[in-house]
Amino acid sequence: MTRKYFGTDGIRGTTNQGFMTAETALRLGMAAGRYFVRGDHRHRVVIGKDTRLSGYMIESALTAGFTSVGMDVVLVGPMPTPAVGMLTKSLRADIGVMISASHNPFHDNGMKLFGPDGFKLSDAVELEIEQRMERPIESLLVKPAALGRAKRLEDARGRYIEFAKSTFPSELRLDGLKIVIDCANGAAYNVAPTVLWELGADVITLGVDPNGFNINKDVGSTAPQTMCQKVLETGADLGIALDGDADRVIISNERGEVVDGDQLMAVIATTLKAAGKLKCDCLVTTVMSNLGLERYLEGEGIAMERTKVGDRYVVEQMRANNCNLGGEQSGHIILSDFATTGDGLLAALQILAALVASGKRASEVCHRFEPVPQLLKNARYEDADVLDGNAVKDAIAAAEEALAGSGRVLIRKSGTEPVVRVMAEGDDRHLVETLVDRIVETVERAA
């Protein structure tokens, strides 16, 4: 059944346009609240947000929705997405909500939901909540005496800071390391620099002055050039760039060179394996991860399993196979020994631990393999069945045949906009570029 509100990572859209309105947030609070009200205990929801102006509106609407169906609301303010997952489980809450549009610009916003176990909801649960959102409001409301209350958790930041520090090896410190931390003017602007400073680092901050409008604007993991430049200007040992809700991370080495999620996962996977801590000797990642990573891990005796794009699908596969490491090329890295979802700060701490333990420079530690040439382009469409046409099928088949044994082709529709994402990778860069362009042209003609 087609879903109306939920996409690949919660509900997301442009604020006050389409379905990203206060009314939707109100209905979501009521429907999700009703779904998770089970048993006779006092029910509780944790609500966090990033720094977008619209967060105030959506937070208020969600609070009204949840309290109207009998749930108590715990507000934690601007906090990373993984912190909301952690606090949901820690506080024995029935549900958690993170108000954020992640790496999108300020005018977008969204809502990500966590279950009582701290994990993001399954497709089936999201569909059930959607169906409840369509019911008459009167059918969801509780009697006046059963209404919920709302309160703020004043020490939420401190709880997450101590939790993050606890994931860093107790025998190590960051003394002597100069680190640039770019918080994207987002949810981690307060907590991430504090964690690094308390572990002993000389901290240089970027993107820590949110004003409601500047989240992800020329800073953060989607604009790592700002961080890289600051690393070079200050002679830092490492740069860390988070995105707006801090569930992903991109690194810069001391040369100002970007290190993506594939390289970071390679570092963490081999480090865990050497310590005997990599469960099943396996890394779970998505179809977007580079073929070079797969070849490198094979040489290290580590299997690689791929899922469809979306960190929650990575988590589902990790849980199904009892794996404790997974992630995406974009920098979502899940360390399930510590967290229930991607956590950019925790992943960065694992890289820093490897750096300190080795005594080597970031450029030596964080470059584990040569990426295979990879190209991704988008083709816009109006016809939803555009991939079913014979011309498009033939172009894809021809590309797969041309790359057989030396690369791969991936074609998928975006979950958030009307575009087909065309990706190919292989040892011959010119061939990859030619094949991608050919498929994009064919899709656009068919569309």
| Active centre residues (catalytic) | 102
CA distances from 123 to 3, 129, 348 (A): 9, 10, 29
Six token digits for residue 227: 């961080």
CA distances from 8 to 308, 318, 394 (A): 10, 17, 28
Establish how many alpha carbons lie within 13 A of residue 63's alpha carbon, considering only the half-sphere containing its beta carbon: 18
Distance of CA 204 to the CA centre of its chain: 24
Distance of CA 215 to the CA centre of its chain: 16
Six token digits for residue 182: 């770019």
Six token digits for residue 315: 């988590």
Strand runs labelled E in 257-302 = 258-259, 282-286
Instruction: Note whether 118 and 85 are within 8 A (CB).
Output: yes
d(CA 333, CA 39) in angstroms, rounded, equals 35
Establish how many alpha carbons lie within 13 A of residue 399's alpha carbon, considering only the half-sphere containing its beta carbon: 28
CA distances from 434 to 198, 253, 426, 430 (A): 50, 32, 12, 6
Closest CA to 109 of 216, 260, 183: 216
d(CA 275, CA 165) in angstroms, rounded, equals 20
d(CA 103, CA 116) in angstroms, rounded, equals 26
Q: Rounded to the nearest 5°, which phi and psi values hold at 195? A: -60, -50
Q: Specify the amino acid at residue 410.
A: L
Establish how many alpha carbons lie within 13 A of residue 58's alpha carbon, considering only the half-sphere containing its beta carbon: 33
